């Protein structure tokens, strides 16, 4: 994989397709390769050049010393955009990646001409802060939870009730999360970025045309959090997609891809209200 070096830190990336450039930023503990399962093929087919990368701490990018900040991660993304000479470009982020994308749009507005934030928060609430404290207390006590238990917790937090009602799907996802031990190691390194301070007042300074996508069954970043962000960013539009949990882009990728491509085509005029999408059947 190609790479760039920033401050002695090696950042691996993939550059696919041609056309209008889009940078995709993954969430906590996730590899940029996850975008290649569904989003990259759809975007390349639609005529986009798509850049994905592994955030610091995610193999094969280098591990990073503890104490790094979201500003550091936004600067990583800026360095990649400048290295490839693709700015200004569209930026799409999910979860932590959305937070990084928003900070990039604030700190380096000349690099971002379209911003799409998925499964996003503008601040931590009482429950998300409590979850972060509990996870850090477990780590500080040196307790190593069994992979099977962590898989159960991830499935409960990441998926929609619709998926959980399907035993076959649930079993498949449990197996995937139980094998994803490297993601938990990375998540520990990035856990110091939370709880998240209230960034909603700062988001009023974002000038890139912005669209916020929430997932209706997301308990980590519920639609109410997405609406807060859309209300804060001048002219931002909002939609909620039914039948999806926090990883809706993997759970119902066809529906999410349609929403992403519509946002990148700027179908929604700045300032226009976007209604929640009607419930759609799960893809076969």
The per-residue pLDDT of the chain, averaged, comes to 89
Average of per-residue pLDDT across 184-198 = 78
| 63 pLDDT above the threshold of 70 | no
Dump pLDDT digits (tens) for 227-274: 999 999 999 999 999 999 999 999 999 999 999 999 999 744 343 444
- Say what the alpha-carbon torsion angle 250, 124, 161, 147 is, to the nearest 10 degrees: 70
Per DSSP, what are the bridge partners of residue 91?
Answer: 23, 115
Structure tokens at 16: 């696919």
Dump pLDDT digits (tens) for 127-144: 999 999 998 899 889 988
The whole model's pTM is what? 0.90
* Residue 168: φ, ψ to 5°: -65, -45
| 283 pLDDT above the threshold of 50 | no
Q: What percentage of residues in the chain have a pLDDT greater than 70?
A: 87
DSSP line for 17-84: --SEEEEEE--TT--GGGGGGTHHHHHHHTTEEEEEEPPTTSTTSPP--TT--HHHHHHHHHHHHHHH
Dump pLDDT digits (tens) for 134-180: 988 998 899 888 989 999 999 999 999 999 999 999 999 999 988 87
pLDDT of residue 277: 39
Average of per-residue pLDDT across 70-92 = 96
Active-site residue set: 95, 218, 246
Pairing of strands 20-25, 89-94: parallel
Q: What percentage of residues in the chain have a pLDDT greater than 90?
A: 71
């Amino acid at each position: 994989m190609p790479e760039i070096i920033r401050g002695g830190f090696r950042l691996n990336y993939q550059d696919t397709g041609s056309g209008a450039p889009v940078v995709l930023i993954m969430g906590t503990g996730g590899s940029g390769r996850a975008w290649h399962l569904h989003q990259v093929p759809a975007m390349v087919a639609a005529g986009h050049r798509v850049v994905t990368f592994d955030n610091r701490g995610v193999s094969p990018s280098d591990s990073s010393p503890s104490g790094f900040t979201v500003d550091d991660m936004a600067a990583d993304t800026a360095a990649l955009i400048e290295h490839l000479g693709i700015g200004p470009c569209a930026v799409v982020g999910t979860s932590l990646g959305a937070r990084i994308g928003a900070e990039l749009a604030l700190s380096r507005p000349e690099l971002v001409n379209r911003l799409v934030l998925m499964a996003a928060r503008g601040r931590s609430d009482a429950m998300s802060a409590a979850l972060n404290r509990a996870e850090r207390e477990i780590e500080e006590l040196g307790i190593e939870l069994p992979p099977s238990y962590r898989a159960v917790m991830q499935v409960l937090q990441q998926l929609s009730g619709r998926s959980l009602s399907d035993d076959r799907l649930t079993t498949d996802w449990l197996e995937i999360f139980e094998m994803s031990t490297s993601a938990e190691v990375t998540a520990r390194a990035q856990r110091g970025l939370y709880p998240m301070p209230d960034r909603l007042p700062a988001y009023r300074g974002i000038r890139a045309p912005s669209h916020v996508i929430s997932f209706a069954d997301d308990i980590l970043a519920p639609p109410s959090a997405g609406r807060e962000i859309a209300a804060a960013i001048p002219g931002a539009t909002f939609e909620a997609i039914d039948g999806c949990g926090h990883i809706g882009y993997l759970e119902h990728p066809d529906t999410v891809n349609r929403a992403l491509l519509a946002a990148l085509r700027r179908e929604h005029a700045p300032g226009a209200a976007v209604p929640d999408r009607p419930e759609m059947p799960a893809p076969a």
